[in-house]
Structure 1
Amino acid sequence: MDETRRRGLEKMNEVYGWEMPNVEGDPYFDLTVDHLFANIWTRPGLSMREKRMMTLTVVTAVGNADLAEIQANAALANGELTVEELKEMAVFLTHYLGFPLGSKLDGVVSKVAKQRKKAAEKGQAEDKRANVNAAVNMHSGGSLDDE
Protein backbone atom coordinates (compact mmCIF):
# COMPACT_ATOMS: atom_id res chain seq x y z
CA MET A 1 0.00 0.00 0.00
CA ASP A 2 1.48 3.35 -0.97
CA GLU A 3 1.70 6.37 1.35
CA THR A 4 -1.26 8.20 -0.22
CA ARG A 5 -3.56 5.18 0.20
CA ARG A 6 -2.36 4.63 3.79
CA ARG A 7 -2.95 8.29 4.66
CA GLY A 8 -6.34 8.27 2.93
CA LEU A 9 -7.56 5.13 4.70
CA GLU A 10 -6.32 6.45 8.03
CA LYS A 11 -8.30 9.68 7.59
CA MET A 12 -11.34 7.79 6.24
CA ASN A 13 -11.27 5.63 9.38
CA GLU A 14 -11.14 8.75 11.54
CA VAL A 15 -13.96 10.45 9.61
CA TYR A 16 -16.27 7.42 9.83
CA GLY A 17 -15.18 6.18 13.25
CA TRP A 18 -14.51 2.58 12.19
CA GLU A 19 -12.01 0.57 10.15
CA MET A 20 -12.66 0.75 6.42
CA PRO A 21 -11.29 -2.06 4.27
CA ASN A 22 -8.89 -1.26 1.45
CA VAL A 23 -11.02 -1.96 -1.61
CA GLU A 24 -8.65 -2.63 -4.50
CA GLY A 25 -9.41 -2.05 -8.16
CA ASP A 26 -12.45 0.21 -7.91
CA PRO A 27 -11.64 3.54 -9.61
CA TYR A 28 -14.29 5.48 -7.67
CA PHE A 29 -13.12 4.10 -4.32
CA ASP A 30 -9.51 4.83 -5.33
CA LEU A 31 -10.38 8.46 -6.08
CA THR A 32 -12.35 8.80 -2.86
CA VAL A 33 -9.59 7.43 -0.62
CA ASP A 34 -6.58 8.77 -2.48
CA HIS A 35 -7.95 12.26 -3.12
CA LEU A 36 -10.92 13.13 -0.89
CA PHE A 37 -9.60 11.57 2.30
CA ALA A 38 -5.82 11.72 1.72
CA ASN A 39 -5.77 15.27 0.33
CA ILE A 40 -8.98 17.14 1.16
CA TRP A 41 -9.97 15.92 4.65
CA THR A 42 -6.32 16.28 5.78
CA ARG A 43 -5.95 19.92 4.70
CA PRO A 44 -5.21 22.37 7.52
CA GLY A 45 -7.43 25.36 8.17
CA LEU A 46 -10.58 23.69 9.49
CA SER A 47 -10.92 21.42 12.51
CA MET A 48 -12.49 17.98 12.22
CA ARG A 49 -15.48 19.38 14.10
CA GLU A 50 -15.88 22.18 11.56
CA LYS A 51 -15.51 19.77 8.64
CA ARG A 52 -18.08 17.46 10.24
CA MET A 53 -20.55 20.32 10.73
CA MET A 54 -20.11 21.41 7.11
CA THR A 55 -20.60 17.84 5.87
CA LEU A 56 -23.73 17.40 7.97
CA THR A 57 -25.07 20.70 6.65
CA VAL A 58 -24.50 19.70 3.03
CA VAL A 59 -25.95 16.19 3.32
CA THR A 60 -28.96 17.65 5.14
CA ALA A 61 -29.40 20.25 2.41
CA VAL A 62 -29.52 17.59 -0.30
CA GLY A 63 -31.77 15.33 1.80
CA ASN A 64 -29.31 12.43 2.17
CA ALA A 65 -30.48 10.93 5.47
CA ASP A 66 -28.28 7.83 5.05
CA LEU A 67 -25.10 9.88 4.90
CA ALA A 68 -26.37 12.18 7.66
CA GLU A 69 -26.80 9.11 9.85
CA ILE A 70 -23.25 7.93 9.16
CA GLN A 71 -21.86 11.41 9.84
CA ALA A 72 -23.92 11.97 13.02
CA ASN A 73 -22.91 8.59 14.39
CA ALA A 74 -19.23 9.27 13.66
CA ALA A 75 -19.43 12.76 15.20
CA LEU A 76 -20.78 11.21 18.41
CA ALA A 77 -18.31 8.31 18.36
CA ASN A 78 -15.36 10.68 17.83
CA GLY A 79 -16.56 13.16 20.47
CA GLU A 80 -16.74 16.00 17.93
CA LEU A 81 -20.37 16.87 18.66
CA THR A 82 -22.91 15.98 21.32
CA VAL A 83 -26.52 14.90 20.77
CA GLU A 84 -27.61 18.30 22.04
CA GLU A 85 -25.35 20.09 19.54
CA LEU A 86 -26.59 17.91 16.69
CA LYS A 87 -30.19 18.66 17.69
CA GLU A 88 -29.37 22.37 17.76
CA MET A 89 -27.90 22.07 14.25
CA ALA A 90 -31.23 20.62 13.11
CA VAL A 91 -33.15 23.54 14.64
CA PHE A 92 -30.78 26.07 13.08
CA LEU A 93 -30.74 24.44 9.64
CA THR A 94 -34.52 24.18 9.58
CA HIS A 95 -34.67 27.96 9.30
CA TYR A 96 -32.42 27.98 6.24
CA LEU A 97 -33.36 24.71 4.53
CA GLY A 98 -37.00 24.38 5.49
CA PHE A 99 -38.92 22.14 7.84
CA PRO A 100 -38.80 18.88 5.85
CA LEU A 101 -34.99 18.81 5.62
CA GLY A 102 -34.36 20.14 9.12
CA SER A 103 -36.78 17.67 10.65
CA LYS A 104 -35.13 14.86 8.70
CA LEU A 105 -31.80 15.69 10.39
CA ASP A 106 -33.54 15.90 13.77
CA GLY A 107 -35.02 12.45 13.15
CA VAL A 108 -31.63 11.05 12.16
CA VAL A 109 -30.03 12.44 15.33
CA SER A 110 -32.81 10.94 17.47
CA LYS A 111 -32.43 7.57 15.74
CA VAL A 112 -28.64 7.50 16.15
CA ALA A 113 -28.83 8.63 19.79
CA LYS A 114 -31.42 5.94 20.55
CA GLN A 115 -29.36 3.21 18.84
CA ARG A 116 -26.18 4.26 20.68
CA LYS A 117 -28.00 4.39 24.04
CA LYS A 118 -29.56 0.96 23.49
CA ALA A 119 -26.19 -0.55 22.52
CA ALA A 120 -24.51 1.06 25.54
CA GLU A 121 -27.19 -0.28 27.88
CA LYS A 122 -26.59 -3.76 26.50
CA GLY A 123 -22.85 -3.26 26.80
CA GLN A 124 -22.46 -3.69 23.05
CA ALA A 125 -20.57 -1.77 20.45
CA GLU A 126 -22.55 -0.41 17.54
CA ASP A 127 -22.99 -2.61 14.49
CA LYS A 128 -19.80 -1.59 12.73
CA ARG A 129 -20.26 -4.02 9.83
CA ALA A 130 -23.50 -2.29 8.86
CA ASN A 131 -21.74 1.09 9.04
CA VAL A 132 -18.78 -0.14 6.98
CA ASN A 133 -21.13 -1.69 4.40
CA ALA A 134 -23.00 1.61 4.09
CA ALA A 135 -19.78 3.55 3.55
CA VAL A 136 -18.29 1.03 1.11
CA ASN A 137 -21.54 1.07 -0.84
CA MET A 138 -21.58 4.85 -0.88
CA HIS A 139 -17.99 5.09 -2.13
CA SER A 140 -17.76 2.12 -4.49
CA GLY A 141 -21.22 0.85 -5.33
CA GLY A 142 -20.71 -2.48 -3.57
CA SER A 143 -20.58 -3.83 -0.05
CA LEU A 144 -18.49 -6.20 2.01
CA ASP A 145 -21.30 -8.75 1.67
CA ASP A 146 -20.81 -8.74 -2.11
CA GLU A 147 -17.36 -10.32 -1.72
Structure 2
Amino acid sequence: MDERRRKGLEKMNEVYGWEMPNIEGDPYFDLTVDHLFGDIWNRPSLSMREKRIMTLTAVTAVGRQDLAEIQVNAALLNGELDETELKDIAVFLTQYLGFPLGSGLNGTVDKVANKRRKAAERGEAEDKKANVNAAVKMSSGRTLDDK
Protein backbone atom coordinates (compact mmCIF):
# COMPACT_ATOMS: atom_id res chain seq x y z
CA MET A 1 0.00 0.00 0.00
CA ASP A 2 1.47 3.34 -1.00
CA GLU A 3 1.66 6.36 1.33
CA ARG A 4 -1.28 8.18 -0.26
CA ARG A 5 -3.59 5.15 0.17
CA ARG A 6 -2.42 4.62 3.78
CA LYS A 7 -3.01 8.29 4.59
CA GLY A 8 -6.43 8.19 2.88
CA LEU A 9 -7.56 5.07 4.73
CA GLU A 10 -6.39 6.51 8.06
CA LYS A 11 -8.41 9.68 7.47
CA MET A 12 -11.44 7.73 6.23
CA ASN A 13 -11.31 5.65 9.44
CA GLU A 14 -11.08 8.83 11.52
CA VAL A 15 -13.96 10.48 9.63
CA TYR A 16 -16.30 7.49 9.98
CA GLY A 17 -15.06 6.19 13.31
CA TRP A 18 -14.54 2.60 12.16
CA GLU A 19 -11.97 0.46 10.40
CA MET A 20 -12.44 0.62 6.64
CA PRO A 21 -10.84 -2.22 4.68
CA ASN A 22 -8.61 -1.48 1.72
CA ILE A 23 -10.50 -2.46 -1.43
CA GLU A 24 -8.20 -2.96 -4.39
CA GLY A 25 -9.18 -2.54 -8.03
CA ASP A 26 -12.29 -0.38 -7.72
CA PRO A 27 -11.62 2.94 -9.50
CA TYR A 28 -14.34 4.82 -7.59
CA PHE A 29 -13.11 3.53 -4.23
CA ASP A 30 -9.55 4.48 -5.27
CA LEU A 31 -10.69 8.02 -6.05
CA THR A 32 -12.60 8.26 -2.78
CA VAL A 33 -9.79 7.01 -0.57
CA ASP A 34 -6.80 8.48 -2.37
CA HIS A 35 -8.19 11.87 -3.38
CA LEU A 36 -11.15 12.70 -1.13
CA PHE A 37 -9.72 11.33 2.12
CA GLY A 38 -6.01 11.29 1.26
CA ASP A 39 -5.96 14.86 -0.03
CA ILE A 40 -9.14 16.87 0.64
CA TRP A 41 -10.03 15.69 4.18
CA ASN A 42 -6.35 16.02 5.16
CA ARG A 43 -6.13 19.71 4.27
CA PRO A 44 -5.35 21.51 7.55
CA SER A 45 -7.23 24.81 7.14
CA LEU A 46 -10.61 23.48 8.39
CA SER A 47 -11.18 21.50 11.57
CA MET A 48 -12.79 18.07 11.54
CA ARG A 49 -15.82 19.65 13.22
CA GLU A 50 -16.14 22.26 10.45
CA LYS A 51 -15.78 19.60 7.76
CA ARG A 52 -18.41 17.46 9.51
CA ILE A 53 -20.89 20.37 9.68
CA MET A 54 -20.36 21.15 5.98
CA THR A 55 -20.80 17.49 5.04
CA LEU A 56 -23.98 17.24 7.12
CA THR A 57 -25.29 20.38 5.44
CA ALA A 58 -24.53 19.06 1.95
CA VAL A 59 -26.07 15.61 2.44
CA THR A 60 -29.12 17.15 4.13
CA ALA A 61 -29.54 19.64 1.28
CA VAL A 62 -29.71 16.85 -1.28
CA GLY A 63 -32.04 14.75 0.87
CA ARG A 64 -29.62 11.89 1.54
CA GLN A 65 -30.81 10.68 4.96
CA ASP A 66 -28.69 7.53 4.57
CA LEU A 67 -25.54 9.62 4.31
CA ALA A 68 -26.70 11.97 7.07
CA GLU A 69 -27.11 8.93 9.34
CA ILE A 70 -23.48 7.92 8.75
CA GLN A 71 -22.30 11.48 9.43
CA VAL A 72 -24.43 11.92 12.58
CA ASN A 73 -23.21 8.63 13.98
CA ALA A 74 -19.58 9.48 13.28
CA ALA A 75 -19.93 13.00 14.73
CA LEU A 76 -21.29 11.52 17.96
CA LEU A 77 -18.74 8.71 18.02
CA ASN A 78 -15.81 11.07 17.44
CA GLY A 79 -17.09 13.69 19.88
CA GLU A 80 -17.14 16.42 17.22
CA LEU A 81 -20.79 17.31 17.89
CA ASP A 82 -23.22 16.30 20.61
CA GLU A 83 -26.91 15.54 20.25
CA THR A 84 -27.99 19.08 21.20
CA GLU A 85 -25.66 20.62 18.62
CA LEU A 86 -26.87 18.22 15.94
CA LYS A 87 -30.51 19.06 16.74
CA ASP A 88 -29.66 22.78 16.55
CA ILE A 89 -28.04 22.22 13.14
CA ALA A 90 -31.32 20.61 12.00
CA VAL A 91 -33.32 23.60 13.28
CA PHE A 92 -30.93 26.04 11.61
CA LEU A 93 -30.90 24.18 8.27
CA THR A 94 -34.68 23.99 8.26
CA GLN A 95 -34.75 27.76 7.84
CA TYR A 96 -32.58 27.59 4.71
CA LEU A 97 -33.45 24.21 3.19
CA GLY A 98 -37.11 23.95 4.14
CA PHE A 99 -39.07 21.88 6.58
CA PRO A 100 -38.95 18.48 4.81
CA LEU A 101 -35.14 18.38 4.59
CA GLY A 102 -34.54 19.92 8.02
CA SER A 103 -37.02 17.63 9.71
CA GLY A 104 -35.38 14.70 7.93
CA LEU A 105 -32.07 15.55 9.58
CA ASN A 106 -33.82 16.07 12.92
CA GLY A 107 -35.38 12.62 12.64
CA THR A 108 -32.02 11.12 11.69
CA VAL A 109 -30.40 12.66 14.78
CA ASP A 110 -33.17 11.18 16.95
CA LYS A 111 -32.86 7.77 15.28
CA VAL A 112 -29.07 7.58 15.65
CA ALA A 113 -29.01 8.97 19.20
CA ASN A 114 -31.72 6.54 20.34
CA LYS A 115 -29.97 3.61 18.69
CA ARG A 116 -26.68 4.55 20.37
CA ARG A 117 -28.40 4.97 23.78
CA LYS A 118 -30.11 1.58 23.54
CA ALA A 119 -26.87 -0.14 22.51
CA ALA A 120 -25.04 1.53 25.42
CA GLU A 121 -27.75 0.44 27.87
CA ARG A 122 -27.29 -3.15 26.67
CA GLY A 123 -23.52 -2.74 26.95
CA GLU A 124 -23.13 -3.46 23.26
CA ALA A 125 -20.67 -2.00 20.83
CA GLU A 126 -21.87 -0.77 17.47
CA ASP A 127 -22.33 -3.15 14.58
CA LYS A 128 -19.02 -2.43 12.89
CA LYS A 129 -19.73 -4.60 9.85
CA ALA A 130 -22.95 -2.66 9.22
CA ASN A 131 -21.02 0.61 9.52
CA VAL A 132 -18.29 -0.56 7.15
CA ASN A 133 -20.86 -1.90 4.67
CA ALA A 134 -22.62 1.48 4.72
CA ALA A 135 -19.37 3.29 3.97
CA VAL A 136 -18.31 0.84 1.26
CA LYS A 137 -21.75 1.12 -0.36
CA MET A 138 -21.54 4.91 -0.19
CA SER A 139 -18.09 4.87 -1.83
CA SER A 140 -18.52 2.15 -4.41
CA GLY A 141 -22.21 1.26 -4.68
CA ARG A 142 -21.68 -2.26 -3.33
CA THR A 143 -21.17 -3.94 0.04
CA LEU A 144 -18.48 -6.28 1.31
CA ASP A 145 -20.89 -9.18 0.84
CA ASP A 146 -21.56 -8.43 -2.85
CA LYS A 147 -19.92 -10.89 -5.20
Assess same fold via TM > 0.5.
Answer: yes
- Superposed displacement of residue 141, structure 1: 1.6
Q: For 1:46, give the aligned amino acid.
A: L
CA displacement, residues 122-144 of structure 1 (integer Å, 9 cap, x when unaligned): 00011111111011011112111
Q: Distance in 1 between matches of 2:101 and 2:142?
A: 27
- Superposed displacement of residue 44, structure 1: 1.1
Residue number in structure 1 paired with 2:3: 3
Q: For 1:19, give the aligned amino acid.
A: E
Q: Distance in 2 between matches of 1:90 and 1:66?
A: 15
- Superposed displacement of residue 70, structure 1: 0.1
What's the TM-score, normalizing by structure 1?
A: 0.99
Count of aligned residue pairs for this structure pair: 147
CA displacement, residues 93-132 of structure 1 (integer Å, 9 cap, x when unaligned): 0000000000000000000000000000000011111111
1:28 corresponds to 2:28: yes
Gaps of 5+ in 1: none
CA displacement, residues 65-114 of structure 1 (integer Å, 9 cap, x when unaligned): 00000000000000000000000000000000000000000000000000
Q: Distance in 1 between matches of 2:118 and 2:135?
A: 22
Residue number in structure 1 paired with 2:144: 144
Q: Distance in 1 between matches of 2:141 and 2:65?
A: 17
Residue number in structure 1 paired with 2:80: 80
Residue number in structure 2 paired with 1:92: 92
Q: Distance in 1 between matches of 2:94 and 2:113?
A: 19
Identity of aligned residues (%): 77
Q: Distance in 2 between matches of 1:140 and 1:58?
A: 19
What's the TM-score, normalizing by structure 2?
A: 0.99
Spell out structure 1 runs of 4+ moving beyond 6 A: none
Q: Distance in 2 between matches of 1:4 and 1:20?
A: 15
TM-align CA RMSD: 0.6
Q: Distance in 2 between matches of 1:143 and 1:20?
A: 12
Q: Distance in 2 between matches of 1:65 and 1:128?
A: 19
Q: Distance in 2 between matches of 1:61 and 1:134?
A: 20
Q: For 1:25, give the aligned amino acid.
A: G
1:16 corresponds to 2:13: no
